[in-house]
Amino acid sequence: MAKTAHNNKADKLLKVTPPLLPADKQESKLTILLKAYLSQKEIELIWEAYRYSNKAHMGQKRVGGEAYISHPVSVACIASEFHLDAASIQAALLHDVVEDTPSTANDIKKKFGSQVAKLVDGLSKLDKIHFADDTEAQAENFRKMLLAMSQDVRVILIKLADRLHNMQTLEPLKPIKRKKISQETSDIYAPIANRLGLNNVYQELEDLSFKYIHPLRYNTITKAIIASRGNRKAIIEKTLIAIKEKLEMSEIKAEITGREKNPASIHRKMLNKHTNFSQINDIYGFRIVVSDLNECYLTLGVLHSLYKPIPGKFKDYIAIPKANGYQSLHTTLFGPFGMPFEIQIRSENMHKLAEAGVAAHWLYKNKDTHVTELQQQTNQWLKRLLDIQTESSDSFEFLEHLKIDLFPDEIYVFSPKGKIYALPKGSTTIDYAYAVHTVVGNSAMSAKINQELAPLRAELTTGDHVEIITASVAKPNPAWLNFVVTPKARSQIRLYLRSAESRDLVILGNSMLNNALKAFHVSPTSIKKKYWDKLILDYHLDSKDNILIDIALGKRINVMVAHQLTSIIDGSKKTKKQTKFLDVITIKGSEGMAIKLATCCHPIPGDPILGFINKDRGLIIHTHDCLGIRNSKLDHEKWVDVEWEPNPESYFNVSLNLLVINERGVLAKISSVMADSEANIDNISVDEGDGSSFSNLRLIVQVRNRIHLADLIKNLRKISKINKINRVKSLH
């Protein structure tokens, strides 16, 4: 027999309590919740924490005027609805004590033990540290909290309970403060609740954030939902009865619940679909909970025989669960009078997990296999957070990675061996490569999608079979940062580039210093470690490499460093006199990231060149007549003498302008000449037509040197349709 129901055990247990209960009622509620699952001894420890917190916060009031202790008690109530252990409930009661009272973390540790103290510390802000601004402080607070969370998931569960109660009691604050807290909740806390599978908490945080960020929109949509509910009541009731009768005929026992989209969800859909409220048809839906997995698919078949399914609107999250462990069948059907509505079908265990998420570990003390899998998935996600935390150079970068990682839309792709990888929507083959392993990402050369060759920037879709082709000589390219979306890929690419650039800068700085030392008639090998140690100490740096990097970036002048080193060498007369000019640095054109060829003038072997030290990018090579450096030539300390290596083997980019007659086949002839001349076209663009019979082509071509370029231009001039060719020496 099918039966209708408005809640089940999980709904009742996790349904959020109304805020602002009188203090005595809050305490009574907490007592009832604790007695449901904890021993008397554990409850006594919790009330000891309550008495300590009450005494510490004595005389403090919240903005709304109520005694401050009402807040930690409410947080403890929400945490107890997750069935968290006694240490977590104690931490919930004590979470503001270190922050807002004279009590210290040491006091908490002595009184309640190291476990409670660690949880409280993970929840406390970094108020004792001075930050440059509020944004930096906020980023660092998130970084600290999520580091603690990656070591113990209870930290974030208590923090979500804390944030939920703060959001429920936000009204007394000023509008600007309300909006700031709500934006933070919308950006970070609601997505974390969603990522951990806490569906009710996620929806309430999302709705409360929407209410304060866009109050007018929230009120308008809420009123529209109420009005629509009345208009469609008869259709909903008729659909509910039809589903109930059909399931009874099929002898499927089920709980059927009417479901309504929340205002924030409707608003998001209106934005995504570029529609108004009247065009959103699936505001109402039904949730059907059956006994086991097999009955989920039986129920789906029964409903598809009752109402026609809408093509492309079926999702099987049972076969491929969401990253937060969520499992359910989603189908959208044409109901009575052509009104579409969504139905979610799930088993009882799936429903428990859908409502409780990662809290199911505490909430349901059973050996459910899927609970274990969810814990493993959560642990993997937390480990990834820990990895990103280690790799990120600052708090802002970590926060950027976190926001990307919390992006809810996902795709599912397959490895050559059939393993499923869940990735954010918009992920590329490079994102997949780093998801497989960092080594695979760092050595990726090309990819195959569904057995066909594809570029590394190709975007993946659900169901793709992906294979990464690697090579030992391949390495991450800075351009990858323009299209990767996963935090792991982004952080690993940046980590590699930072280390590669540092290595290149050390080599360049060493070369520049050696030239300066030779000018003082000092052999670089004669500079012993003790002399370097003295200079490192004088400069207040960590290592010799840091000095060499500073030289390469122009933060220190190589001659001055050489002078100080040679001055340290006791009794050396050679240091007193400089008798020859500094050597020049030879350029191959294929050095590392520390030496770059300027894109404004595209120098090639044979061009007279100058080296300009940029403190952020290293040594930049320009042609001597580049217009882009005209104003910088006065800054003599930033210029370095450079020359080309006699026979560099690399190819170099050159910019050419071609004035051609507008006729079919011109481009084909140009390409043919390029191929015959052993040159490559890297980029081509055409200026917008002016109505004349001529067009201006802009080419970036790759040549070996100036002689090769001259031969290429000579061959291009043989094409009768080319009226004029000139090399662009500066784009400024």
* pLDDT tens track for 627-662: 777 766 656 566 777 888 877 777 888 999 999 888
- Predicted TM-score of the model (pTM): 0.59
Fold of 4-213: Hypothetical protein af1432 (1.10.3210)
Domain 375-485 class in CATH: alpha beta
Please tell me whether residue 685 adopts helix, strand or coil conformation.
strand
User: Tens digits of per-residue pLDDT, 435-451?
Assistant: 999 999 999 999 999 98
pLDDT at 4: 45
User: Tens digits of per-residue pLDDT, 193-237?
Assistant: 887 878 889 999 999 999 999 999 999 999 888 887 776 777 788
* 581 pLDDT above the threshold of 80: no
Q: How is 195-260 classified by DSSP, letter by letter?
A: HTT-HHHHHHHHHHHHHHHSHHHHHHHHHHHHHHHHHTHHHHHHHHHHHHHHHHHTT--EEEEEEE
User: Tens digits of per-residue pLDDT, 529-543?
Assistant: 888 888 888 888 888
Span 652-727 CATH architecture: 2-Layer Sandwich (3.30)
Rounded distance between C-alpha atoms, residue 402 and residue 420, angstroms: 22
Percent of the chain past pLDDT 90, that is, above it, reads 27
Span 696-700, average pLDDT: 89
pLDDT at 247: 93
Percent of the chain past pLDDT 70, that is, above it, reads 79
**Residue 361 structure tokens:** 């570990």
Residue 649 annotated to the active site: no
> Tokens 């945080």 label which residue?
205
Rounded distance between C-alpha atoms, residue 333 and residue 338, angstroms: 9
431, 489 Cβ separation under 8 angstroms: yes
Q: Higher-confidence residue: 560 or 127?
A: 560
User: Tens digits of per-residue pLDDT, 459-469?
Assistant: 998 888 999 99
Span 268-284, average pLDDT: 78
In sequence order, what are the beta bridge partners of 410? 424
* 5 pLDDT above the threshold of 50: no
Q: Which of 144-158, 313-327, 367-381 bottoms out in mean pLDDT, i.e. has the lowest?
A: 367-381
Q: Which of 258-267, 326-335, 573-582, 713-722 bottoms out in mean pLDDT, i.e. has the lowest?
A: 573-582
User: Tens digits of per-residue pLDDT, 380-438?
Assistant: 666 666 565 555 555 556 656 565 555 546 778 889 988 888 788 889 999 999 999 99
Q: Which of 22-26, 411-415, 723-727 bottoms out in mean pLDDT, i.e. has the lowest?
A: 22-26
> Tokens 């992920």 label which residue?
427
Every domain of the chain and the residues it spans = 4-213, 220-356, 375-485, 494-583, 587-644, 652-727
* 91 pLDDT above the threshold of 90: yes
pLDDT at 291: 92
Residue 245 annotated to the active site: no
Show Cβ contacts of residue 4 under 8 Å, excluding neighbours closer than 6 positions.
240, 244, 255, 256, 257
Show Cβ contacts of residue 413 under 8 Å, excluding neighbours closer than 6 positions.
420, 421, 423, 432, 460, 462, 463, 464, 465, 466
User: Tens digits of per-residue pLDDT, 541-563?
Assistant: 888 888 888 887 777 777 778 87
pLDDT at 261: 83
Q: Point out the catalytic residue in the list 99, 373, 625, 682.
A: 99
HSE (side-chain half, CA atoms, 13 Å) at 533: 3
Average pLDDT, the chain: 80
Fold of 220-356: Beta Polymerase; domain 2 (3.30.460)
* 478 pLDDT above the threshold of 70: yes
Q: Point out the catalytic residue in the list 11, 100, 184, 348.
A: 100
* 570 pLDDT above the threshold of 50: no
Q: Which of 133-142, 245-254, 347-356 bottoms out in mean pLDDT, i.e. has the lowest?
A: 133-142
User: Tens digits of per-residue pLDDT, 671-693?
Assistant: 899 989 999 888 888 876 666 78
Span 594-611, average pLDDT: 84
Q: Label residues 399-417 b or e (16+ Cβ within 10 Å = b).
A: bbbbebbbeeeebbbbeee
* 171 pLDDT above the threshold of 80: yes
- 142 burial (CB, 10 Å; 0-12 / 13-18 / 19+) is buried
